[in-house]
């Protein structure tokens, strides 16, 4: 399998980082910048269409114009493409709930064989799945044939109380997302709603989004079955757990935080973790 990563070994062999030296690095040093996905015009249209689909109806919204909207959509489909428009040589079908999270990071439901031609246009370097089950053979073959790394951070289908969502698995997945060597990346679970929504919600906390905005995004993708336990997990998740596992020089530029802020958070989180370890040792030796 192409680059399968065992979450249990994710942080076992991480090198010790010289964080002071990193302050002298320029943002672009030693960065292998991903090439833009093919057919950007077509991809932009797909993203726009799917974003519109995830907009949940507002309470009291006037739906009397649905027929005219459908007619307008049909008219636009019948229009001849301009000379600059991209006409795919094969049918490109995105997975359900497909959307862009940030630059080079996408989310969706479970990709099937019919979605593979579309995924090729993204130039993916990695796929991160949140399902517990074995990955289908045809998906593994697709990853191998296209040199795509595979990360599996299995999370139980979160119909149980939110405490059942393993926070350490979310932390490992976030550390993988925050390494731009893995980009472009596709994140998915089964429906692309609840487990993926929890992970993206925790990512938004790292980006310093307000909880109101985070929950609004979660509900747009999980509609009509939003789960309060998912939102409670997002609210209670401590994003500080991620920082000790981050390599600052590979942080994406969309993380909002400046380089010095990131290094300060990493140093603080690492120090706190070290103190906790010493406290635990003292308790053990004192028994």
Look up 202 and say whether it is catalytic.
no
Structure tokens at 140: 């593994």
Beta strands in the chain (DSSP E): 99-102, 105-108, 126-129, 149-152, 185-188
How many Å apart are CA 201 and CA 207, to the nearest integer? 10
DSSP-assigned letter for residue 208 = T
In sequence order, what DSSP letters do the residues of 23-57 get, joined into one string? TTS-TTTT--PPPPPS-HHHHHHHHHHHHHHT-PP
Query: At 174, is the secondary structure helix, strand, or coil?
Result: helix
- Catalytic residue chosen out of the listed positions 24, 189, 198, 202: 189
Residues 6+ apart with CB under 8 A from 4: 149, 150, 151, 152
- What are the φ/ψ torsions at residue 79 (nearest 5 degrees)? -70, 140
Query: Which residues are known to be catalytic?
Result: 189
């Amino acid at each position: 399998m192409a680059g399968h990563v065992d979450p249990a070994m994710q942080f076992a062999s991480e090198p010790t980082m010289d964080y002071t030296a990193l302050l002298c690095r320029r943002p672009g040093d030693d960065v292998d910048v991903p090439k833009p996905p093919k057919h950007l015009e077509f991809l932009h249209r797909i993203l726009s269409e799917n974003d519109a689909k995830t907009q949940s109806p507002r309470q009291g919204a006037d739906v009397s114009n649905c027929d005219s909207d459908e007619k307008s959509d049909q008219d636009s489909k019948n229009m001849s493409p301009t000379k600059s428009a991209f006409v795919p040589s094969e049918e490109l079908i995105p997975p359900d709930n497909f959307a862009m999270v940030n630059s080079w990071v996408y989310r969706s439901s479970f990709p099937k064989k019919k979605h593979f031609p579309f995924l090729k246009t993204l130039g993916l370097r990695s796929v991160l799945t949140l399902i517990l089950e074995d990955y289908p053979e045809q998906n593994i073959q697709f990853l191998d044939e296209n040199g795509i790394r595979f990360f599996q951070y299995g999370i139980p289908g979160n119909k149980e109380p939110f405490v059942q969502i393993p926070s350490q698995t979310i932390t490992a997945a976030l550390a993988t997302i925050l390494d731009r060597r893995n980009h472009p990346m596709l994140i998915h679970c089964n429906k692309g709603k609840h487990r993926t929504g929890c992970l993206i919600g925790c990512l938004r906390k790292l980006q310093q989004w307000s909880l109101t905005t985070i929950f609004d995004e979660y509900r747009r993708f999980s509609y009509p079955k939003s789960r309060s336990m998912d939102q409670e997990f997002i609210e209670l998740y401590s994003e500080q757990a991620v920082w000790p596992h981050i390599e600052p020089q590979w942080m994406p530029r969309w993380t909002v935080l400046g380089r010095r802020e990131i290094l300060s958070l990493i140093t603080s989180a690492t120090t706190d973790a070290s103190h906790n370890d010493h406290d635990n040792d003292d308790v053990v030796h004192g028994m």
